[in-house]
């Protein structure tokens, strides 16, 4: 039973490490895409245009 428990614990830790590495990779990809100054400025301009085009009550 002891070798089974050790291999189960190893696989559980390995799975957890792979999940965390994947999530960090996804986070870094989106952070890199959204943090460029050009994309931030263009997003602000698009938001201003949408607000200007919205009908006034």
Q: How far, in Å, CA of 18 to CA of 50, rounded?
A: 41
pLDDT computed for residue 17 by the predictor: 95
Say yes or no to pLDDT of 57 above 60: no
pLDDT single digits (tens) 7-53:
999 999 999 999 999 988 887 776 665 656 666 667 677 777 766 66
Per-residue pLDDT, 32: 63
Q: Quick check: pTM over 0.75?
A: no
Q: State the pLDDT at residue 4.
A: 87
- Annotate 6-57 with DSSP letters as a single string: HHHHHHHHHHHHHHHHHHHHHHHHHHHHH-SHHHHHHHHHHHHHHHHHSPP-
Greater confidence, 51 or 6?
Answer: 6
**Residue 48 contacts residue 42 (beta carbons within 8 Å):** no
């Amino acid at each position: 039973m002891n070798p089974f428990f050790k291999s189960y614990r190893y696989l559980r830790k390995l799975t957890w490490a792979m999940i965390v590495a994947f999530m960090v990779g996804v986070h870094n990809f989106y952070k890199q895409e959204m943090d460029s100054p050009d994309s931030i400025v263009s997003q602000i301009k698009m938001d201003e245009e949408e607000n200007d085009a919205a009908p006034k009550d």
